[in-house]
Structure 1
Amino acid sequence: MPGPDGFFRSRWRGEVPQRVLFWRDMVVVGTLINLLATGVALAIAASGSSIALAAGVHFSPLPYNLFLVAAVWRLPASAACRWASLGWLAFVTLV
């Protein structure tokens, strides 16, 4: 099993099939990570802690999200897949 550097390197180099990168890494795993971060951020805000901390937790997956979208755009992917990745990015960033 590759380490974290191998995970990122293989996706950046386009060594992972589009269906794996888009559906598994982005739609399933990425969405779960974002939902978890949003839930923790809401719990932090509800507990009366700093809103800045809650916002930081909510936006903490953003670098990972941007990486996944960039990796999809680097693939010889369909235009629909590329634009869907941008829609996904907007959705998970706002939700």
Structure 2
Amino acid sequence: MPAPAGFFKARWRGEVPQRVLFWRDMVLVGTLINLLATGVALAMAASGASMALAAGLHFSPLPYNLFLVAAVWRLPASTGCRWASLGWLAIVTLV
């Protein structure tokens, strides 16, 4: 298993195939991370925790999401995935 720095470097440098970056890292793993953060944030809000804390937890995956979208946009010839990544970002940020 690569070190976290290696994970990010490989994606930023375009060393990861588009299908892996888009489908596995973004759509599968990224969506699961966002759903988990949102679920826990909703549970916190329902249990009476601070709304600011719940909102902070909900938006905590945003830097990772932005990184994945930027990494997709850095790939050559990935026009369809570029626009799909922006749609994905909007969905997981708002939901």
Would the TM-score normalized by the shorter structure come out above 0.5? yes
TM-score normalised by structure 1 residue count: 0.98
Query: Deviation of residue 77 (structure 1)?
Result: 3.4
**1:8 counterpart residue number:** 8
Identical pairs, percent: 87
Q: Write the deviation string for residues 5-49 of structure 1: whole angstroms up to 9, x where unpaired.
A: 000000000000000000000000000000000000000100001
Output the aligned Cα RMSD: 0.6
Aligned residues: 95
2:70 aligned partner, one-letter code: A
Query: Deviation of residue 79 (structure 1)?
Result: 1.2
Deviating above 6 A after TM superposition, structure 1's stretches of 4 or more consecutive aligned residues are none
Residues 28-67 of structure 1 mapped to structure 2, 5 A cutoff:
28-67=28-67
Query: Deviation of residue 80 (structure 1)?
Result: 1.1
| Unmatched segments (≥5 aa) in structure 1 | none
Aligned partners of 1:18 and 1:77 also within 8 Å: no
| Unmatched segments (≥5 aa) in structure 2 | none
What SS class does the counterpart of residue 16 from structure 2 fall into? coil
Residues 14-33 of structure 1 mapped to structure 2, 5 A cutoff:
14-33=14-33
Query: Deviation of residue 78 (structure 1)?
Result: 2.3
